[in-house]
Amino acid sequence: MAAPLFSSPASDDARAAFAAKPRGLTDKVMSVAEAVTRFVRDGDYLATGGFGTNRIPAAVCHEILRQRKQHLGFAGHTTTHDFQILAAGNLTGRGQTLAKVDAAYIVGLEARGLSPHARRVVESGTVRVAEWSNYTLALRYTAAAMGVPFVPARSLLGTDTLANCPAKVLTCPFTGEALVAVPALYPDVAAIHVHEADRYGNCRFSGTSVADVELSRAAKRVVITCERLVPHEEMRRDPHRTQIPFLCVDAVCEVPHGSYPGNMPGEYFSDEDHLRSWMEVEKDSAAFAQFLEDHIYGVRDFAEYLEQCGGLRRLQALRQRELLLHLGK
């Protein structure tokens, strides 16, 4: 039996939600805690931006755990440490942060290996999972950004993945060819980390974008975290560099090093030691529970978490390593 759709692809319903968003240049700067309180609700469908451990919205994921948000749907598009963080909310005694997942890439942290705890969560049967390829899950954002309920594709035809996802085979009305109807994905809320944003929500970033531009236009609510706030006049001087416009954004949170322990292209390298610590401590549930208390539940905010992980000295070392890589050294 094919997996069900976890969110409605109805474009008219989504358009009604988008029409209700304010169009004025309003100040959207707030703390991560306020943004999560206002825009992430129990039962919401959540999507995160970034690619692998690059430019991930780690601060928002931490705050979702701290605020005990429950029963979220999640788009596991190119998710590594962000999925690992959210899966930590499915620890015995902590409730169930994740309830359903559209999975293209989850559990794995690329060459670093598999997250023991995230694997336990997925294998437990307590989380409903539908399967996609990376490409088709990205196409779901494309369809949503276009304002249509699906887009046709050849991808998935002839694969076992097609039997485990809600996509449908259809016949092209013009050529008679078999195609796959990939349904639109309109997340209730998306969290995206960028290099720079102004207080109204205009954003720019460097490095690979993957599907973040489409995601920002597909999600009904968008929380932006940024390395630094820049004046609106600065954005206006180079308007062609704005990849996410203010019209899409609901909250702007300045969070320096907000992708840590992931990397930020041109800013800082990933903290491989800390990522290894997560992987190692997850092997024992009791030790992992204490680790989460020390690093997430027991700290006030992401800045305090950074202090727990080595503070300014560690962050400067990661920045230096990224700089040397860019210089080819």
> Once rounded to an integer, what is the mean pLDDT over residues 118-140?
96
pLDDT of amino acid 1: 58
Task: Check whether 2 has a pLDDT greater than 80.
Answer: no
pLDDT of amino acid 327: 74
Question: Taking a C-beta distance cutoff of 8 angstroms, is the pair 61, 35 a contact?
Answer: no
pLDDT of amino acid 95: 85
- pLDDT tens digits for range 222-262: 999 999 999 999 999 999 999 999 999 999 999 999 999 99
- pTM for this prediction: 0.96
pLDDT above 70: percentage of residues in the chain:
99
pLDDT of amino acid 329: 64
Name the pLDDT band for 328 (thresholds 50, 70, 90): confident
Task: Check whether 191 has a pLDDT greater than 90.
Answer: yes
What is the three-class DSSP state of 298?
A: coil
- pLDDT tens digits for range 50-62: 999 999 999 999 9
Name the pLDDT band for 208 (thresholds 50, 70, 90): confident
Tokens standing for 207?
Answer: 């490095």
pLDDT of amino acid 182: 98
Task: Kindly report the average pLDDT of the chain as a whole number.
Answer: 95
Sequence spans of domains, the chain: 15-149+184-326
What is the three-class DSSP state of 160?
A: helix
Name the pLDDT band for 143 (thresholds 50, 70, 90): very high
Question: Which ranges of the chain does DSSP label H, i.e. alpha helix?
Answer: 11-19, 32-39, 58-66, 81-87, 116-123, 134-146, 212-218, 232-237, 272-281, 285-292, 302-308, 311-326
Question: Taking a C-beta distance cutoff of 8 angstroms, is the pair 130, 327 a contact?
Answer: no
Name the pLDDT band for 46 (thresholds 50, 70, 90): very high
Number of residues written out for the chain? 329
- Quickly tell me which residue has 């720019």 as its tokens: 204
What is the phi-psi region of residue 75: left when phi exceeds 0, alpha when psi lies from -120 to 50, beta otherwise? beta
> Once rounded to an integer, what is the mean pLDDT over residues 63-92?
96
Residues with Cβ < 8 Å from 82, sequence gap 6 or more?
Answer: 48, 50, 56, 57, 58, 61, 262
Q: Would strands 98-103 and 72-76 be described as parallel, antiparallel, or unpaired?
A: parallel
Q: Would strands 203-204 and 189-197 be described as parallel, antiparallel, or unpaired?
A: antiparallel
CATH architecture of 15-149+184-326: 3-Layer(aba) Sandwich (3.40)
pLDDT of amino acid 255: 98
* Pick from 173, 215, 200, 319: nearest CA to 260: 319
